[in-house]
């Protein structure tokens, strides 16, 4: 089991766009396993590589513990891109990188995402509900976008004090966090 610290709000890498993966190798396999281990240790349902300090364009999702996701297998998406969006719905979201902050976010109700799997085959997934929302949330991370970036100006101003506390490390969570990106993981090979 390889659990990595999760970077929290204010770390520059969270606002950077991840770089496309061009090959699957042992390092990527280790990163994927670490992403799953880290996400599950933090009781999360999705995690993008830049949340642990890597700019590789990879994310993992596992909603199988949720009522709506019991039939959904864990997913690994390399180089994911949203190719279709339909409808709109609002739901409360949170983020392992922004602990103790939750708010309503409007997102597409249905999405189609194209990605590469661990065999580097092109795949597509159509998703609605929770799975669609988690995919959009994590793809946003890979594009340097946080869920709070979807909030209006007034809501973001109201959150400023809480976000500053997170930036200073004034919060408590039950999983490892880091004040800055670990240099051993930050750049893709």
Mean pLDDT on 80-84? 98
Q: What is the pLDDT of residue 6?
A: 97
In contact, 2 and 32? CB cutoff 8 Å = no
- Residue 115 has which token pair? 């990605």
Confidence class for position 189, pLDDT limits 50, 70, 90: very low
Confidence of residue 158 (pLDDT cuts 50, 70, 90): very high
Q: Is the pLDDT of residue 185 over 80?
A: no
Percent of the chain with pLDDT over 70: 94
pTM above 0.75, yes or no: yes
Is the domain covering 6-178 a CATH 3.90.45.10 domain? yes
Average confidence score pLDDT of the chain: 93
Rounded percentage of the chain residues whose pLDDT exceeds 90? 89
Report the pLDDT value the prediction gives residue 61, as an integer from 0 to 100.
Answer: 98
Higher-pLDDT residue of 63 and 66 is 63
Rounded Cα distance between 158 and 82, Å, is: 30
Q: Residue 93: helix, strand or coil by DSSP? A: strand
Using CB atoms within 10 A of its CB, is residue 30 exposed (0-12), middle (13-18) or buried (19+)? exposed
Tokens 């409360």 appear where? 92
CA distance 165 to 20: 33
Question: Looking at the annotation, which residues are catalytic?
Answer: 138
3-class secondary-structure state, position 112: strand
Q: Is the pLDDT of residue 187 over 70?
A: no
Mean pLDDT of 91-118: 97
Query: In which residue are the tokens 């909603």 written?
Result: 63
Q: Which stretch of 3-7, 67-71, 95-99, 143-147 has the lowest confidence by average pLDDT?
A: 67-71
- Please answer whether residues 74 and 62 qualify as being in contact, where contact means their C-beta atoms are separated by less than 8 angstroms: yes
């Amino acid at each position: 089991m390889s659990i990595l610290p999760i970077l929290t709000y204010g770390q520059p890498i969270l606002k950077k766009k991840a770089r496309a993966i061009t090959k699957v190798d042992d390092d990527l396999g280790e990163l994927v396993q670490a992403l799953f281990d880290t996400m599950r240790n933090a009781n999360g349902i999705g995690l993008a590589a830049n949340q642990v300090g890597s700019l590789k364009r990879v994310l993992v999702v596992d909603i199988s513990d949720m009522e709506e996701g019991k039939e959904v297998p864990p997913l690994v998406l390399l180089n994911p891109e949203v190719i279709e969006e339909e409808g709109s719905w609002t739901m409360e979201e949170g983020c392992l990188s922004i602990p103790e902050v939750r708010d309503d976010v409007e997102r597409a109700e249905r999405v189609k995402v194209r990605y590469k799997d661990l065999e580097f085959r092109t795949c597509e997934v159509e998703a609605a509900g929770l799975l669609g929302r988690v995919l959009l949330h994590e793809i946003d991370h890979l594009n340097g976008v946080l869920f709070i970036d979807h909030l209006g100006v007034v809501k973001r101003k109201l959150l400023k004090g809480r976000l500053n506390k997170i930036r200073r490390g004034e919060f408590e969570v039950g999983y490892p966090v880091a004040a800055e990106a670990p240099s051993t993981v930050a750049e893709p090979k």
